[in-house]
Amino acid sequence: MFYLIGLGLGDPTDITVKGLEIVKRCARVYLEMYTSILGCPQEELEAFYGRPLLLADRDLVEQGADEILAGAGEEDVALLVVGDPFGATTHTDFILRAKEKKVPYKVIHNASIMNAIGCCGLQLYKFGETVSIPYWDETWKPDSFYDKIRLNRLNNMHTLCLLDIKVKEPTPESLTRRRKEYQPPRFMTVAEAAQQIMTIVDKKDALERNTILNEMSLCVGLARVGHDSQRIVVNTLRKMTQTDLGAPLHSLVIPAKEIHPLETEFLQQYTTIKLEDYNH
C-alpha cells in the first residue's frame, strides 16, 4: 500500500496517531520538503518516529514516481508532506501516477494552512479563491493574482494569499549546466507580499483604489500558524510593508470589505486600529 500522509502544520507531534502508526511500520518513508517547510529539522522527526527518512526533493517527487512507488504493491511505502496531501497539485498528480501503476493508496489527512487560516477569526466559509504570490525579479513581475483578490473583494469574500517559497532553485547561471547549483532558500514575508500588492495598487486609477483596494485597506499577516511562536497582526496594507513577523512561513489575508461583528471582535485582538468604525 502507498500512503500519502499529511504532517499538519509542521511540529513533529502534529502528525495524527493513525499517521504515526503507519510511518512506524512502513518499509520506506519519504519526506517531501519543497512545497512547504517543517517547523523542525529532519533529524528531530527521525528521532520522534524512531526511523530514518528518505528525503524527496522536487525532482524526485515530480519525476521519480517510479522510484518512490517501487514495491508499494507488496509492501508499505509512505510519502510525508507538510500540511494536507491535497494542498498541492503535485500530490494530486502523484496519486494519479499510483493509480496508473495500479498501486493501492490511502490518504491520511491533516490540518493545512487552507483550513488553519481560520485561526485569525475570519470565517473559513467566506474565503474565495486562494491566490499564490510569486517572488518578482527584475524582469518578471506577474500580477494576475491581483485580479483574483479583486474578484473576491467585489464579491465580499476573503482572500488567502499563499506566499512564495524558493527551495532548491537552480541559480540562473547553472540552469543550462549539467551540474546545477542552487540558490539559498527564500520564503516570502508578509512585508514583501504587501509591498508587491502596493506596487500593483499604486498603478491603478483612483476609482479602483476607492472601490477595491488601497494603502489603507486592512490585511492580516500570519506567521508560523499552529506553532507556539504563531503571530497574527492586523494592519493597513501600507503598514504591513514594514511589519516584521520573524521566521517563516508567512501568509497574508485580504479580508472582504464587509466583516461580520464576530470577525471584527476576533481581529481586534491583533491590532491597535479601532476596527469597529474602520471601513476599508
Q: Is 116 in the site for a copy of itself (CB under 8 A)?
A: yes
Q: Is 136 in the site for a copy of itself (CB under 8 A)?
A: no
Query: Among residues 128, 134, 221, 255, which is the contact residue for a copy of itself, using CB under 8 A?
Result: 128
Query: Among residues 2, 56, 84, 214, which is the contact residue for a copy of itself, using CB under 8 A?
Result: 84
Instruction: Report the C-alpha gap between 145 and 142 in whole angstroms.
Output: 8
List binders of a copy of itself among 7-36 (CB under 8 A).
8-9, 11-18, 20-21
Instruction: Report the C-alpha gap between 194 and 192 in whole angstroms.
Output: 5
Which grid coordinates belong to 162?
499563499
Between the alpha carbon of residue 43 and those of residues 12, 47, 120, 125, 201, the distances in Å are 11, 6, 31, 37, 44
Query: Among residues 36, 77, 112, 220, which is the contact residue for a copy of itself, using CB under 8 A?
Result: 112
60 prior amide bond cis, ω within 30: no
Number of residues that bind a copy of itself (CB under 8 A): 54
Cα 34 off chain centre by: 11
Q: Which stretch binds a copy of itself (CB under 8 A): 39-47, 58-66, 79-87, 212-220?
A: 79-87
The residue (of 148 and 166) whose beta carbon lies closer to a copy of itself is 148
The count of residues in the chain is 280
Q: What are phi and psi of 274, to 5 degrees?
A: -80, 105
Residue position matching grid coordinates 485569525: 120
Residue 204: DSSP 8-state: S
Task: State the binding string over 187-226 for a copy of itself (x if CB under 8 A, else -).
Answer: --------------------------------------xx
Instruction: Report the C-alpha gap between 9 and 250 in whole angstroms.
Output: 12
Binding site for a copy of itself (CB under 8 A): 6, 8-9, 11-18, 20-21, 84-87, 89, 92-93, 95-96, 99, 107, 109-112, 114-116, 118-119, 121, 123-132, 151, 155, 157, 162, 225-226, 262, 265-266, 269
